[in-house]
Structure 1
Amino acid sequence: MEDEYEGWLASRPTLVEDRSHPNHWRNRAADLKASAGALWHAMGAQDAAIAAELGYAPGYRMSVACWPVYHMLCGLSLELIMKAVLAQRGLAPDEFKGHKFANLHRLLDLPLNKENAKLMAFYQDALVWAGRYPTPLDATDEKLMSHYELASDILTKPIEMGQPGLLKFKVSSGATDWEQFTALWGSYAALFSEA
């Protein structure tokens, strides 16, 4: 009986091998997506009630405070769903390490048009630093301005206000709203074979 147990124990995958299974990568990507969704809804209509329930002073805006963290969770989830597909295709984690979305697209053999490349660069910034830290590693004014310009390009769009003038107005583009993010995430999840 003990020999059977030892044989079974020796034949099963290690914990690391088991946790490296593509399904674990996909499940973690889905968990991060769910967390981003929870945050999205916390930033919505119940913003003030949720802030009060968490003990924040009146006037605390979840929609302001959580916006960069929402993008960070979205970025993490996108990174992991891409890595789940790569793991399923037989790549080992050390073959797709890092947070460079352009590299993940290259490994997935997926083209990135100019607009999608900008969106993915925004999510990459969010997961690497903008959702966690006030400045990037080796911060410079140029790095911060570059990120602010990218964020403005992604998160806003210009609107016409009648006669051309000195003032230019922008509104939310909706590019990272929950519905858009879910559709983007789904396009990568569709590459993961459920079989």
Structure 2
Amino acid sequence: MEEITQEQSELIASLELYALEEVKKETQALQELIDVVNSLVDIRVINGAVISDIKLGAFELEALAMRIPAECSRLQCRLNQYNTRNMFRDMQLDAQVTIELSRLAGTKGAAEERKRKAEMAVLDERVQNAVNKLIIRGIQGCIDRADKVYEGVKKVMDYRSKEGWFDRKGGQP
């Protein structure tokens, strides 16, 4: 088998959609938390001056400061599951390629050609493994963005606490 079959092309296309949907599903709760922050922080320029409005009170900031890391932790557990599965799948794929290479020993062609043929024999599994790696990167990217949002929330909380905004000791919440 030296070319990609129609079934393999269809598999690749469907797995691409699967990867996008899986990342969206896994990161939905975290993305909603990020969207809350985005929707409640307004920054605009009026007459050359930057005006900002943070519509998050102390309670909302505290809730976000607790929830974002908790959701990141849940997603990290999912990443660990994907990574574990992929690690064992990688080992299995390497073994399958080795088996295919041994079957092709003594056949026509250079060693590189035989290796390519052996790798094509396990293309479906390689594609599935690549999809899992894309899902891992997608989820990790969302965690990284959420961590930056969390740091921003934490900085606002720290600032408000230093300025006496909490517990009605000063400033407005």
Answer 1 or 2: higher relative contact order, Cα 8 Å, separation at least 6. 2
- Of structures 1 and 2, the larger Rg is shown by 2
Please state which band the TM-score falls in when normalised by the shorter chain: under 0.3
Q: TM-score, normalised by structure 2?
A: 0.27
Q: TM-score, normalised by structure 1?
A: 0.24
From the two aligned structures, give the one with the greater helix fraction. 2
